A and B are shown apart, each in its own frame.
Chain A
Amino acid sequence: MTDLTKYTLNDALDAMNKGEFTSEELTTAHIKACENATKLNVFITSSFEHALEAAKNSDKRRAKGNIGLIEGAPLGVKDLFCTAGVKTTAGSKILDQFEPTYESSVTSNMNSQGMVMLGKLNLDEFAMGSSNETSAYGPVINPWKKDEKLVPGGSSGGSAAAVAADLCLGATATDTGGSIRQPASFTGTVGIKPTYGRCSRWGTVAFASSLDQAGPIAKTVKDAAILLQSMAGYDEKDSTSLNIPVPNWKTSCDKSIKGQKIGIPKEYMIDGMPRDIQLLWDQGIEWLKDSGAEIIPISLPHTKYALPAYYVVAPAEASSNLARYDGMRYGLRAEGSDLNDTYSRTRTMGFGDEVKRRIMIGTYVLSAGYYDAYYLRAQKVRARIVEDFENAWHKCDTILTPTAPSAPFTLGRKVVDPVEMYLNDIFTVTTNLAGLPGISIPAGLNQDGLPLGLQVIGKALDEDNVFATASALERAANFNLKPKKWWIE
Chain B
Amino acid sequence: MPLLTRAYVIMEFFVSNQKNVVNVEDVKKIARLSRLRVEDTELQSLADDLSGILGWIEQLNEVDVDKVEPMTSAVAMKSPMRKDIVSDGDKRDQILKNAPKKDDGFFVVPRSVE
Contacts and interface: CB of A to CB of B under 8 A. Distances in A.
Interface of A: 97-102, 195-197, 210-211, 236, 239-240, 242-243, 270-274, 302, 304-305, 308-309, 311-312, 319, 326-333, 335-336, 338-340, 342-345, 347-348, 351, 356-357, 359-361, 363-365, 367, 374, 376-384, 386, 405-406, 409, 417-420, 423-424, 434-435, 460
A98 B52 CA distance: 35
Given A99-B97, A344-B37, A377 B74 contact: no
Given A236-B82, A272-B8, A374-B57, A360 B34 contact: yes
B50 A272 contact: no
B73 A363 contact: no
B101 interface: yes
Contacts of A460: 75
B7 interface: yes
A409 B70 contact: no
B57 A308 contact: yes
A328 B109 contact: yes
Contact of B71 (A319, A326, A361, A386): A386
A312 B71 CA distance: 13
A308 B101 CA distance: 41
B60 interface: yes
Contacts, number: 197
Given A357-B50, A365-B54, A435-B75, 7 more contacts: A211-B74, A305-B63, A329-B95, A332-B100, A342-B110, A357-B46, A405-B2
B68 interface: yes
7 contacts: A240-B75, A272-B5, A329-B98, A347-B36, A357-B46, A364-B22, A406-B2
Nearest to B61: A377
Interface in B32-47: 33-37, 46
Contacts of B79: 239
A377 B60 contact: yes
Contacts of B22: 364
A211 B53 CA distance: 20
Nearest to B16: A308
Interface of B: 1-10, 13, 22, 26-27, 30-31, 33-37, 46, 49-50, 52-54, 56-63, 65, 68-75, 77, 79-80, 82, 91, 94-95, 97-101, 107, 109-112
A212 B50 CA distance: 24
A383 B100 contact: no
A376 to B, nearest CB: 6
Contacts of B35: 326, 340, 343-344, 347
Contact of A339 (B2, B37, B99, B112): B112
B57 A328 contact: no
Contacts of A339: 109-112
B98 A409 contact: no
A330 B100 contact: yes
A329 B80 contact: no
A468 B4 CA distance: 35
Contact of B65 (A236, A364, A365, A377): A377
Contacts of B71: 379-380, 382-383, 386
Nearest to B29: A367
B30 A406 contact: no
Nearest to B67: A380
Contact of B52 (A197, A326, A380, A419): A419
